[in-house]
């Protein structure tokens, strides 16, 4: 795998139908397909760049006006998928950066840009389930690295206009840090 495709739908039924179309359009692997809040549906899949693009186009066509957002990210950083799937427990307490978005797609795109910008570790990429459809990214590292990553993540193409807020906490309380894991 060297690319991911991500689609967000405003209809659960059309999202499920489009997920089927995506998987049949080209040789891609399904990472997740599930409903998110508030009544949206998200599909994340991976594969070779050409296959991901082909499947994304098929999903957009099938989803029609129910497509909220979509993205293909070639050369996705491996930390992004790890943080989406299960979260990461860092070795030690460091500065914490948080980026919050209205769009799930914007969070994935920004997480990839952030982790490629500096030496940081993604702790979590939360994809809009149970939090009003918002998504957020949590990362950790040295203060300068976290600051640069958050700056690049919120400025990343694909997140434009969908940022709610971002923060860098240079020295988080240990209890706060633990609550993020």
* Calpha distance 127→133 (Å, rounded): 8
> Can you give the pLDDT at residue 160?
59
Residue 153 pLDDT greater than 70, yes or no:
yes
* 107 lies in the same domain as 126: yes
40-47: strand order across its sheet: 29-36, 40-47, 3-9, 67-74
> Can you give the pLDDT at residue 88?
66
Residue 157 pLDDT greater than 80, yes or no:
no
Percentage with pLDDT > 70 across the chain: 94
* 67 lies in the same domain as 126: no
Q: What is the mean pLDDT of residues 18-45?
A: 92
* 90 lies in the same domain as 169: yes
Residue 108 pLDDT greater than 70, yes or no:
yes
CATH code assigned at 169? 3.30.70.1710
* 63 lies in the same domain as 30: yes
* 170 lies in the same domain as 84: yes
Mean pLDDT of the residues in the chain? 88
Q: Could you say which of 47, 74, 101 is where a domain stops?
A: 74
* 120 lies in the same domain as 168: yes
Domain range for 142? 78-179
Residue 103 pLDDT greater than 90, yes or no:
no
Residue 23 pLDDT greater than 70, yes or no:
yes
Q: Count of domains in the chain?
A: 2
Taking the chain, what is the end-to-end CA distance rounded to the nearest angstrom? 27
Alpha helices by DSSP H, the chain: 12-25, 49-63, 78-85, 104-117, 143-155, 174-179
* 52 lies in the same domain as 114: no
Count of Cβ atoms closer than 10 Å to residue 51 Cβ: 19
Q: Could you say which of 44, 74, 104 is where a domain stops?
A: 74
* 68 lies in the same domain as 87: no
* 51 lies in the same domain as 109: no
Q: Could you say which of 74, 109, 137 is where a domain stops?
A: 74
* 89 lies in the same domain as 49: no
Joined together, the tokens standing for residue 151 give 């700056």
* 46 lies in the same domain as 83: no
Q: What is the mean pLDDT of residues 56-68?
A: 96
Q: What is the mean pLDDT of residues 11-40?
A: 92
pTM of the model as a whole = 0.81
Q: What is the mean pLDDT of residues 46-68?
A: 96
* 82 lies in the same domain as 165: yes
């Amino acid at each position: 795998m060297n690319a991911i495709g991500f689609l967000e739908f405003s209809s659960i039924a059309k999202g499920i139908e489009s997920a089927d179309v995506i998987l049949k359009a080209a040789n891609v692997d399904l990472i997740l397909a599930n409903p998110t809040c508030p009544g949206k549906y998200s599909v994340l899949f991976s594969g070779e760049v050409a296959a991901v693009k082909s499947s994304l186009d098929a999903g957009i066509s099938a989803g029609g006006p129910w497509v909220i957002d979509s993205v293909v990210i070639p050369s996705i950083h491996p930390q992004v998928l790890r943080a989406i799937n299960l979260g990461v427990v860092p070795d030690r307490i460091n500065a914490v950066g948080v980026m919050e978005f209205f769009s799930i797609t914007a969070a994935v795109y920004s997480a990839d840009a952030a982790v490629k910008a500096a030496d940081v570790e993604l702790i979590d990429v939360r994809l809009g389930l149970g939090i009003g459809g918002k998504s957020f990214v949590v990362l950790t590292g040295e203060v300068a690295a976290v600051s640069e990553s958050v700056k690049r993540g919120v400025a990343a193409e694909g997140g434009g206009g969908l940022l709610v807020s971002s923060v860098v906490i240079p020295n988080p309380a240990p209890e706060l840090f633990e609550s993020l894991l």
